[in-house]
Chain A
Amino acid sequence: MGAKKKSVALLAAADLGLDGPVGAAGAKTELLDIAAPPVRGKGQVVVAEDGPAGAKLIFDFLKAKKLI
């Protein structure tokens, strides 16, 4: 709660002895584009009857995707 009562000092760039451009103007890079990541669609959800059945499901899936 003590933090609430503390005063926040505002300093200008010049107060810190900075004479060059600061913030976005001083940045060495610039943002060209900002986008949401490609959506990962919901995949298949399959219930495995037992161990071998579950293993077969994954094995066939990986094989179809050429991951094994």
Chain B
Amino acid sequence: MRNVITFVEHKAGKTRKVTFELATEARRLADALGGKAQAVVLGEGASALAEQLKGYPLDLIGVSDDPEVDRFLLDPAIDYLEAVAKGAGPSVVLVPNTLQGRDVAGRLAARLGAGLTSDVTDIKVEGGRVGCVSPKLGGSTITTCAFKDAEYGVVTVRPNSFTAQAGGGGAEVVSLEKPGGKAYLMVVESDVEESSGELGLEEAPVVISGGRGLGGPEPFSTLLGPLAQALGGTVGASRAAADAGWVPYSLQIGQTGKTVSPPLYIAVGISGAIQHKVGMRSAGTIVAVNKDGAAPIADFADLLVVGDAFQIIPELTKLIREAQAVHA
């Protein structure tokens, strides 16, 4: 495999940070493999997003505004990707490790007869081989896997694993031809959209999580919300809080919820049971506020402040706001 293709996930041209992380990593990988880096953007708003992607060091941006892409779940996107990959020749395909991305990756790998590595946090190229590093078994084991086949490999990448770096530019935007001989059909019975904060939990640079210690639903918006806003982050929760119905399950972090690795994680009123730990242990820095100094979180937090979160958090929010006002 020589070329690198990255699948851009977006909604009507609005995308997330992971897109730019993957565009940056695609460049690095393509250079290491001696190939080209290209992005594939499909559906409504694709052209506009391609313009934005030009600010990243890609060689090629394949675009199609085909409205069918949005109308028929993922089938058309997979057809486009398959055609692009076959056209590009031996390549690594990078896909964000999201609900949709995982679906795309599995099906594309099957189409290409390729290997698939999932939830990858680092990629190493040695002697032309692509080694994918990913945490397994709830992060208790780290594996490095390579593709046996030299043709294609599909990788789902965990958001926040690579740093997005604009620059380079000069990518050529090409219009993708619609894969022929395909007919799509879909039956919609109901369409439910669940809100999950402003930023995607997996992508937020700062996650402020609340647990049982918060005692109810209100502190998530009145206590954690303002701090998250001050830090440019988003609010998450432990299973205890989600199970109690204080927050929607979409905010749950842990073994049965989401896995996050933000540069900064602040756990408030969370004991740090293994169920929660596996969902956030890969965060850059972990700060905890808890009444109990002997809570399990003491063993893996970089800083545990033992005290009353209801007193500490508003003061912390104030301090941060004041510091920002000085710099503004």
Does more than half of chain B's interface fall in helix, strand or loop, or is it mixed? mixed
Q: How far apart are B321's CB and chain A's nearest CB, in angstroms? A: 11
Q: Are B312 and A58 in contact (CB under 8 A)?
A: yes
Q: Which residues of A contact B109 (CB under 8 A)?
A: 28
Q: Which residues of A contact B198 (CB under 8 A)?
A: none
Interface centre among A31, A48, A49 (most CB of B within 10 A): A48
Q: Out of A42, A51, A61, which one reaches B307, CB within 8 Å?
A: A51
Measured in the bound complex, the distance between the Cα atoms of B298 and A43 in whole Å is 7
Q: Out of A31, A37, A40, A54, which one reaches B144, CB within 8 Å?
A: A31
Q: For the complex, is B88 an interface residue (Cβ under 8 Å from A)? A: no
Q: For the complex, is A44 an interface residue (Cβ under 8 Å from B)? A: yes
Chain A residues 16 to 68 lying within 8 A of chain B, measured CB to CB, are: 27-37, 40, 42-59, 61-63, 65, 67-68
| Chain B residues within 8 Å of chain A by Cβ, number | 53
**Contact status of A33 and B285, CB under 8 A, knowing A42-B298, A59-B320:** no
Q: For the complex, is B55 an interface residue (Cβ under 8 Å from A)? A: no
**Contact status of A51 and B320, CB under 8 A, knowing A29-B147, A58-B303, A67-B264:** no
Q: Are B307 and A40 in contact (CB under 8 A)?
A: no
Measured in the bound complex, the distance between the Cα atoms of B144 and A42 in whole Å is 26
Q: Which residues of A contact B143 (CB under 8 A)?
A: 31, 33-35
Q: How far apart are A52's CB and chain B's nearest CB, in angstroms? A: 5
Q: Which residues of B contact A51 (CB under 8 A)?
A: 307-308, 310-312, 314-315
**Contact status of A37 and B139, CB under 8 A, knowing A48-B307, A55-B316, A57-B305:** yes
> Which 5 A/B pairs are nearest by Cβ-Cβ distance?
A51-B311, A28-B115, A48-B307, A55-B315, A54-B312
Chain B residues 281 to 306 lying within 8 A of chain A, measured CB to CB, are: 281-282, 285-287, 289, 293, 298-306
Q: Which residues of B contact A55 (CB under 8 A)?
A: 312-313, 315-316, 318-319
Q: Out of A29, A57, A68, which one reaches B116, CB within 8 Å?
A: A29
Q: For the complex, is B195 an interface residue (Cβ under 8 Å from A)? A: no
**Contact status of A65 and B285, CB under 8 A, knowing A28-B147, A46-B306, A51-B314:** yes
Q: Which residues of A contact B178 (CB under 8 A)?
A: none
Q: Which residues of A contact B308 (CB under 8 A)?
A: 48, 51, 54
Q: Are A29 and B145 in contact (CB under 8 A)?
A: yes
Measured in the bound complex, the distance between the Cα atoms of B147 and A31 in whole Å is 9
Q: Are A43 and B146 in contact (CB under 8 A)?
A: no
Q: Which residues of B contact A40 (CB under 8 A)?
A: 281, 286, 300
Q: Which residues of B contact A34 (CB under 8 A)?
A: 141-144
**Contact status of A42 and B300, CB under 8 A, knowing A30-B148, A34-B143, A52-B315:** yes
